[in-house]
Structure 1
Amino acid sequence: MTFRQRRDKLRSILAGSSCIRPGSVYDAISIRIAQDLGFEIGMFGGSVASLAVLGDPDITLITLTELAEQMRRMSRAAALPVLVDADHGYGNALNVRRTVAELEVAGAAGLTIEDTLLPQAFGEAKTQLIPLAEGVGKMKAALDGRGDPSLVIMGRTGAASVSSLGDAIERARAYEATGVDALFFTGIKSRAELEAISATTRLPIVLGGAPEELSDPGLLAQLRVRIALQGHAPIAAATQAVHATLKALRDGTAPKQLQGLASSELTGRVTREAEMKARSADFLGLKR
């Protein structure tokens, strides 16, 4: 599947009438598993990018180069369309433009640009937002930076939990006016807030987490939510599994007695072993 086809797939989801749950992906193996299991799209979050690449918490230490390179590895490994959390675009509006260009050639199907002030300001523990005008400038730069018009650009705001619902709506409408393809919200605390957002905006909505009363995909679809995240459990599960396995080995458990390991069949599937053997036969003259 070409990059354009992956982006068209994401666009078809946004243009549809259903709400889907993406698979959280962070490396070549996780994206292949998500694809094999039938997820329509993958979500490459900033937090999991920081964990997978740096082993650091989500405090914006990862660089654009590192993020794009990890996306490039996943694009090579599988054809699953991926939505990338591009944080604040790694600087001002001109940096945002560069961020879009780099993630486009890395194979992202879409990306989000948010209006959070990042990195964290000196002496300020609470989350802060950039001014609305600066956010609008970033959205315009993001749109100007894409070479492939099928690449999805989403304007993202966490204003609902940082400042107010009214501010979130004002920002969303301003970003909508720039021509972005969808609106991404975090910090929505109730159905009433989502209903207010849906009533005052026009674009497809993506939710980055929501309370229990907003867990029904049918309800979300009615409120124009097309993608609803479920967090990033896979990397947490992988961390626990690696920790448990290494601890067991360190405590003296024999390798053959370890529990919860991937079977050779599953490992062969996710590493595309059969395809590699076929290529080895065709190109190296090896027996199948």
Structure 2
Amino acid sequence: MTFRDRREKLRSILSGPRCIRPGSVYDAISIRIAEDLGFEVGMFGGSVASLAVLGDPDITLITLTELAEQMRRMSRASPLPVLVDADHGYGNALNVRRTVQELEAAGAAGLTIEDTLLPQAFGEAKTQLISLQEGVGKMKAALDGRGDASLVVMGRTGAASITSLDDAIARAKAYEATGVDALFVTGIKARRELEAIAAATTLPIVLGGAPEEMSDVNYLAAQRVRIALQGHAPFAAATRAVYDTLKALREGSPLQQLKGLVSAELTARLTRDGAMKGKAAEFLGLGKR
């Protein structure tokens, strides 16, 4: 599947009537697992990218180069369309433009650009936003940096929980006016907030987390939410499993007594062992003697 095919698939989801849950992915194996389990799209979050690549918390230490390279590894491993959290675009509007170019080249199906002030400002403990005008400039730069018109660019704001619902609506409307393909909204605490944003805009909505009362995908679909995130539990589960396994080995547990290890069958499936052996036979003459 070409990069454009992946992007068109993401666009079909955004233009469709349903709300889907993406699979949280962060490396070559996790994206293949998501693909094999039938997820329609993967979500590569900024927080999980920082954890997987650097082992650092989500405080904007990962660089554009590191993020794009990890995306490139996943694009090679699987044709699953991936939506990338590109944070603030790694700088000002010109940096945003380059961020779009790099992630497009790395095979991302779509990306989000947010209006959070990142990195955190000196002396400011609370999350801050850039001005609406600067946010609009970043969205315009993102669209200008796009070489493939099928790449999905989303304008993201968390204003609902940082400033006010009215500010979130104003920002959503302004970003929509720039021509972005969808709106990515975080910090929504109640149905009335989502409904107000949906009523004020026309673009597909991606919801970045919500309270339990908003877990019904049919309700979300009625509010034009086409993708609803569900956190990054896969990375958390993998970390727990690795920790417990190493701890057991360190404490002297025999290898044969370890629980939860991946089977040889599943490993072969995820590494595409059969296909690779076929290529070895074709190109290296193996198995012909």
Q: Distance in 2 between matches of 1:256 and 1:29?
A: 24
1:55 is displaced (CA, Å) by 0.1
Q: Distance in 2 between matches of 1:199 and 1:123?
A: 37
| Aligned partner of residue 10 in structure 1, secondary structure | helix
Instruction: Map 1:126-275; keep pairs closer than 5 Å.
Output: 126-275=126-275
Report runs of 4+ in structure 1 exceeding 6 Å deviation.
Answer: none
CA deviation digits over 1:257-284, x for unaligned, max 9?
1100000000000000001110111111
Match of 2:12 in 1: 12
**TM-score for the superposition, normalised by structure 2:** 0.99
The residue type equivalent to 1:47 in the other structure is S
Same amino acid, percent of matched pairs: 81
The residue type equivalent to 2:41 in the other structure is I
The residue type equivalent to 2:268 in the other structure is G
1:250 is displaced (CA, Å) by 0.3
Q: Distance in 2 between matches of 1:12 and 1:75?
A: 19
| Aligned partner of residue 174 in structure 1, secondary structure | helix
Matched, 1:276 2:239: no
Structure 1 residue ranges without an equivalent (≥5) = none
Alignment RMSD: 0.5
Match of 1:44 in 2: 44
Q: Distance in 1 between matches of 2:200 and 2:257?
A: 58
Q: Distance in 1 between matches of 2:221 and 2:180?
A: 20
1:256 is displaced (CA, Å) by 1.5
Q: Distance in 2 between matches of 1:251 and 1:75?
A: 38
Q: Distance in 2 between matches of 1:212 and 1:37?
A: 25
Structure 2 residue ranges without an equivalent (≥5) = none
Match of 2:285 in 1: 285
CA deviation digits over 1:131-152, x for unaligned, max 9?
0000000000000000000000
Instruction: Map 1:20-169; keep pairs closer than 5 Å.
Output: 20-169=20-169
Q: Distance in 2 between matches of 1:195 and 1:208?
A: 15
**TM-score for the superposition, normalised by structure 1:** 1.00
